[in-house]
Amino acid sequence: MGIAVQSLEGEGEKDERVFTIIETDPICGRVVEASESAVTYTYAGWTYLFCCQECLEMFQKSPESCVIYLAHTRSAYVGHLCRYQRASSQPRLSVGVSSR
């Protein structure tokens, strides 16, 4: 599930490579960067990253079903619309005076 993104640190002196693990939230599909503050859960020896507590709780309700679904589909996530996606997908209302 993870993608290692390679970046170089330093200018010509050392060839230090820093790897950042980027995961796809298995519930909603949002990209989550691994960090100390990331919401994680380990199931069957695999650590999953989540964009929010809501997605973690959805996974915890039925982790086996989620893993089986992910293993047997081409999708990298279940398809739940989390609070971040609901907030960004709500229609924007224009407030103003109509020009009649």
Question: What pLDDT is stored for residue 16 in this prediction?
Answer: 56
Q: How much is the pLDDT for 63?
A: 94
Predicted pLDDT at 13:
57
Task: Show the low-confidence residues of the chain (pLDDT under 50).
Answer: 1-8, 92-94, 96, 98-99
26 burial (CB, 10 Å; 0-12 / 13-18 / 19+) is: buried
State the pLDDT at residue 14.
57
The pair of three-digit structure tokens given for residue 62, joined into one six-digit string = 């039925």
Residue 81: predicted pLDDT: 85
pTM of the model: 0.64
